[in-house]
A and B are shown apart, each in its own frame.
Chain A
Amino acid sequence: MTGYGFDFDGQRLEARPSGALFWPARRWLIVADLHLGKSERMARRGGALLPPYEVQATLDRLTAEVAATDPETIVSLGDGFDDDAAAGSLPDQVCARLSAMAARRRWLWISGNHDPGRIDARLPGTGCDQIREGLVLRHQAGAGPDVSGHFHPCIRLAGQRRRCFLIGADHLILPAFGAYTGGLACDDPALTELVPEGIAVACGTRALPLPAGRTARRPARPRHDRA
């Protein structure tokens, strides 16, 4: 796995091929939009009964990232849970897995629009609205420079849609890390407004940088999946 190193807001950062962001100077591992419990929430609301393995799949990938980077702090950049009830009904063994991952590390849960409430008592770590420690971390981009998630940016590369980082002058936007998450094309006006010009880093087996923004020529893509 080869990451992509870059500077943002005076800090050296690494876009990991998995979609996680690593901050080597502080050994922070930052992931956005885990949306844990998404399939449970859909079922609860009378929707389709999706394969209930997305928590397991997401945690498998996160475990691999934690093992690879040995972070001091893990940050969930909001929408860690598909809703507060989903956080409350996570099976005990999932909570145990999260706790094991968090052992000897700090875990910070930034709240997002899907999970505005308090962090469930069975989960490790603490909740907060945003973090200002050398970098500004929040769920949704505000006054830059900041690091955020929320939009699930995607880019088309060689006929395939891939999750991607968007790196602009004012905003660094992370792809969704969760297994069942749709995406928003990075040339959607909502994103080009935040990053008019910059670099998209496509995730996959390698992190591949591409030009992004209004001037980059790409076929137009469908819009955000809020399902």
Chain B
Amino acid sequence: MTLPGAFRDWFARQGWQPHPHQIALLAAQGDTLLIAPTGGGKTLAGFLPSLVALREPPGGLHTLYVSPLKALTADIARNLARPVADLGLKVRIEDRTGDTRPAQRARQRVDPPDILLTTPESLALMLSYEQAPAIFGGLRRVVLDELHALAENKRGDQLMLCLARLKALSPGLLATGLSATVENPAALADFMGGAAIIHADPGPDPDIAMLPTARPAPWAGGGGHHAIPEVLEQVKAARTTIIFINTRAQAELFFQALWAANEDNLPIGLHHGSLAREARQRVEAAMAAGALRAVVATGSLDLGIDWGAVDLVIQVGAPKNVKRLVQRIGRANHRYNAPSRARIVPANRFEVIECVAALEAVAERDLDGDPRGPGPLDVLCQHIGLTACAGPFDAEALFREVREAGPYRGLTRADFDACLDFAATGGYALRAYDRWQRLMLRDGLWRLRDPRAARNLRMNVGTIVEAEMLKVRLRGRGGAPLGEVEEAFAASLSPGDTFLIGGQTVRYDGLREMVVEVTRQPARQPRIAVFSGVKLATSTQLSHRVQALIGEPSHHAALPPDTRDWLDLQARIGGLPRDGVLVSESFPYQGRWHFALYGFAGRNALQTLGLLMTRTMEDAGLGPLGFLSTDYALLIWSLDPVRDPAPLLDRAALRAGLGDWLAGNAVMKRTFRNVAVIAGLIQRNLPGSRKSGKQATFSSDILYDTLRRYDPDHLLLRITADEARRGLVDFDRIEEMLDRSSRHDHRVLDRVTPLAAPLLLEVGRVPIAGQGRERLAEAEAAALMAEAGLA
């Protein structure tokens, strides 16, 4: 296909020249993956083949567009309206998301538009309707937007299963993936089930550097508040700035500090996922209208509507991940062919090193990313149930179809059968449900036993499992919604407690009909809301770069002088962590022995290692009292010193400990809950009854304990263990750390080392309740008795 004259004229009238990648996509004969930086006309490129084909609409659904964000579908609909009107195309474009009215949904089922804009969840739902073959039978094209973001989690796995389904319903259908810059385009193409890759011109190198500050970064902490004056100067000099901060709580605090110093009253907003939708939309609208000079944001602004006016991105805190940093930088200056401008503010000394390492990686265009695991089986369980909702299916045919989906290419028949058994009978060792199977095999086809089950299955669609959140609202009739906090946080509040939300300090008054009621209370020192979200660990590749930078004194020239001095001192006193050498130190401090291990394995893995090692230390009688973990190091304090860490790091012992410890662990229970919701064991919402958050958590814990006790080989426990190993528990990275350390350098010293000093200032200590504490208590009791003359 080439660009017709009318379209060429239209481009010319806009003063545009079609990009080579737009033309290339038009010519493509098969599935394609377009990799283009932000501002590269990616979306138009994705739709151009459809618009050209729709000069004469064949009727029925022609193109399906899937985006990770509901907001994006509305935005796309508006943006497409212009070329469609200009070109006089008779094309109907509609969106279909969770917000679409029921009447519209019903109509779309009988009379679909030419182009339908939707999300992965809505697509999965539509595919579960009996009318799915009629709706999608004539589909010609599928456009998958922001595919790099979807591929990061289970939404992508579900989407690929749906794509396989669509291809079965409409053979010959063409899929186009649109992605920002990624480390491994071939892997993303494989994820799509195989696609030709088109690279757009990546544009000029970004203008990116560390932001010099008058006050050096502090030794510990993550706030970045030392840089407030310089950040304000930058905001003043730029037109519009996005200030990215890693966590919601830190964003709240930074925003507050920024305003405290904002003497010119520059309009600055706040945007994060825990704010009320209304509050977020206000900020987005103000941003779009050019009314804001800056917005402090978390990952909530990583994707989404392009704001052409943004000309500066400031990243506060360690970037953690080079790929994400590059994608964030791309948010600055959406004009193609102009370099994006970004400044990084390390929040502490360790992060200074990480930022330098990340800047080197950006300059070398060396992106990171962990390879995707195989398609998760809980998502497949859900897919099988939804497939049955659409109509009876043949197991062999479904198995073959599922293996067409990229993530499930290597799926074994045994695993498929286990998922089918789970969907049909629950998959229990005790065959209790033969009479009440969910799916029955009749005439060679699997089908729902009771059609009423379809409703439950459809209500449970999707792979996003939110932490249970409660809305926060100002007290009084029609009080303004402020945002959401985790249910667990709300439960810890007593009337009169204060916390920070949406940049304001509020006082907790009470809980009413599942809404947290608060009053504004400007002057009080707030407690900080604990927001949800797994703490992102620094990527493996970036950690390696940091370790290599620290361990190679000849490269220290790249570091600021104070950081250089710090590492020089460490080189003289202790040892520098370096490639292939695992460095640890034992030293006394304030009457306790401390053991510091520089593992560079990310905070989740080091936290797991801390839990496992303190168990072994407890058994060895060393009296561990507590530990803390950062992305780089683990610090354990104890009554007696660790003289030989080798037994504590014995791989077999760690593995065995992992098995025991995982048994009753809260991390596992949380992972199990997510798996159980996705697979459909636990209902997200029961029709007709409002199941509140805490009760779901309660019952999933009971189910977990019950399964572990009575059915330890159950499929969901297997999925949970696999997932935790890679995710929150991150045991794989402990193994990786041991694999790459051929040597272990342990030193026992008489005082704190320079490298360990910042660790002593870190927060997030995990206390260990063991013999160490008992010994302390006994010693104290004995001292008291002696003082009283009784001993």
Contact = CB atoms under 8 A, between A and B. Distances in A.
A pairs with B:
yes
Given A48-B682, A222-B514, A156 B491 contact: yes
B477 interface: no
Chief secondary structure at chain A's binding surface: loop
Contact of B436 (A44, A217, A219, A222): A44
A54 B432 CA distance: 11
Given A44-B436, A47-B456, A48-B683, A53 B430 contact: yes
B689 interface: yes
Interface stretch (A129-137, A139-147, A177-185): A177-185
A226 B689 CA distance: 8
B706 A57 contact: yes
A101 B705 CA distance: 25
Nearest to B427: A49
Contacts of B438: 43, 46, 49
Contacts of A217: 494
Given A44-B436, A220-B511, A222-B693, A183 B698 contact: yes
Most central of B438, B449, B488 by chain A CB within 10 Å: B438
A58 to B, nearest CB: 10
B706 A54 contact: yes
A221 B513 CA distance: 10
A182 B680 contact: no
Interface string B178-202: 0000000000000000000000000
Contacts of A223: 692
Interface residues of B, number: 45
A46 B449 CA distance: 8
Interface in A132-187: 156, 159, 161, 179-180, 182-183
Interface string B662-705: 00000000000000000011110010010111110011001100
Nearest to B705: A57
B699 A52 contact: no
A159 B486 CA distance: 13
A54 B492 CA distance: 31
B694 A227 contact: no
Given A48-B680, A52-B433, A57-B710, A159 B494 contact: no
Given A57-B709, A220-B510, A226-B689, A51 B494 contact: no
Given A183-B695, A222-B693, A46 B706 contact: no
Contact of B702 (A49, A52, A159, A179): A179
B425 A219 contact: no
Most chain A beta-carbon neighbours within 10 Å: one of B491, B681, B695, B711: B695
Interface in A47-84: 47-54, 56-57
A176 to B, nearest CB: 12
A7 interface: no
B491 A49 contact: no
A51 B426 contact: yes
B714 interface: yes
Contacts of B511: 219-220
Contacts of B512: 220
A27 B494 CA distance: 42
Interface in A168-222: 179-180, 182-183, 217, 219-222
A51 B710 CA distance: 9
Contacts of A53: 428, 430, 706-707, 709-711
Contacts of A40: 432-433, 436
B452 interface: yes
A21 B699 CA distance: 23
Contact of B433 (A43, A180, A183): A43
Contacts of A220: 510-512
B696 to A, nearest CB: 9
A225 interface: yes
A159 B491 contact: yes
- Lowest 7 A-B CB distances belong to which pairs? A49-B426, A222-B692, A52-B432, A43-B436, A46-B450, A53-B710, A220-B511
12 contacts: A39-B432, A46-B453, A49-B428, A49-B433, A50-B681, A50-B703, A180-B699, A183-B695, A183-B698, A219-B492, A227-B689, A227-B691
